[in-house]
Amino acid sequence: MAMNEGQPRLGCGRIIDDVWESIDRPASIHERTCRDCQSARAALEHLEAVTRSMRDRDRSDPALRPSRRVRAAILMVARAEIRRSRRVPLGTTPRGTIDISEQALTGLIRFAASTLPGVRARRCTIAGTREPQTSPAGPPSTAAVDGEDVRITLTVALSSQVRIPATVTLLRERVGTIVQAQTGITMQQIDIGVEDLYDV
């Protein structure tokens, strides 16, 4: 059969797509009397049944999954690349500077946020208060962050059951407290963006 761009039609003039779209419904008056439609419908119903069987079988078939080696290779590359993120200095000792990776800090901030019921932390960016504002969705800055001058921007989804102003205030306090306790960093500014509400 030629694979031209026009929709294939049955002898009665109907397009195959229309027969397929109505395959889950009882046959129409036309379909009950039209031999072309009856034949097409029976053929498509059979195809749909075998396709469904193949789809369900393939999904549960361990032979049709990539090996663990592939997964390990992907994660190894991902972890190696993420480790190259910026670092935030925490303090200086006689043996050198202690710092924390930006990824570790954003992980801690997401953790702090998730300790509040009804809060799902999404993206977090870290910058100095003197750096230009960047969107959490935008490309990360490459400049080093001054540990004395940290501003974070955190986007969250909130449960539709919580009061937004009170939760945002609590969230700001919780993030500031946990980050200060775990790293010694006192954040100068914590911007919270509520970008979504979810139903419980």
Partner 1 sequence: MQGASRTALATEAPGHPAVLASAEALDDLDELTIVARAQNGDVHAFEWLLSTHEGGVFRLAFRMLDDYAEAEDIVQETFIAARRGLPDLAAPQAFTPWLYRAATNKCFNNLRSRRRHPAAPDSFDDEPVPGGSHGASAVGEAELRNQWDARGGGICQDPALRYEAEAQMQALACLVRAVPAGPRACWLLRDVHEFSYTEIAAIVRLPESTVRGRIARTRRILAEGMEPWR
- Give, as ranges, the residues between 102 and 141 that touch partner 1 (CB under 8 A): 103-104, 106-108, 110-111, 114-115, 120-124, 136-137, 139-140
d(CA 149, CA 141): 15
> Which residues, 6+ apart, have CB-to-CB distance to 83 below 8 Å?
101, 103
Q: Measured from the CB atom, is 20 or 28 closer to partner 1?
A: 20
Only one of the segments 30-38, 82-90, 164-172, 185-193 lies at the binding site for partner 1 (rule: CB under 8 A); that segment is 82-90
Site for partner 1 contains 90 (CB under 8 A): yes
d(CA 131, CA 143): 9
Site for partner 1 contains 29 (CB under 8 A): no
Q: Check if the beta carbon of residue 98 is closer than 8 Å to that of residue 90.
A: yes
Token pair recorded at residue 192? 């919270």
Q: Choose which of 14, 34, 37, 40 interacts with partner 1 (CB under 8 A).
A: 40
Q: Choose which of 67, 132, 142, 166 interacts with partner 1 (CB under 8 A).
A: 67
d(CA 161, CA 133): 31
Q: Choose which of 157, 164, 170, 194 interacts with partner 1 (CB under 8 A).
A: 157
Angle between helix 164-183 and helix 102-114 axes, rounded to 10 deg: 130
Q: Choose which of 150, 155, 171, 185 interacts with partner 1 (CB under 8 A).
A: 155
> Where in 162-181 is the site for partner 1 (CB under 8 A)?
none
Site for partner 1 contains 197 (CB under 8 A): no
d(CA 195, CA 113): 15
**102 closest CA partner among 134, 73, 72:** 134
Dihedral sign for Cα 127, 130, 134, 140, please. negative
Only one of the segments 14-22, 26-34, 145-153, 163-171 lies at the binding site for partner 1 (rule: CB under 8 A); that segment is 14-22
Interface size with partner 1, residues (CB under 8 A) = 78
> Where in 46-65 is the site for partner 1 (CB under 8 A)?
46-48, 50-51, 53-55, 57-59, 61-65
How near is the Cβ of 47 to partner 1 at its closest, in Å?
A: 4
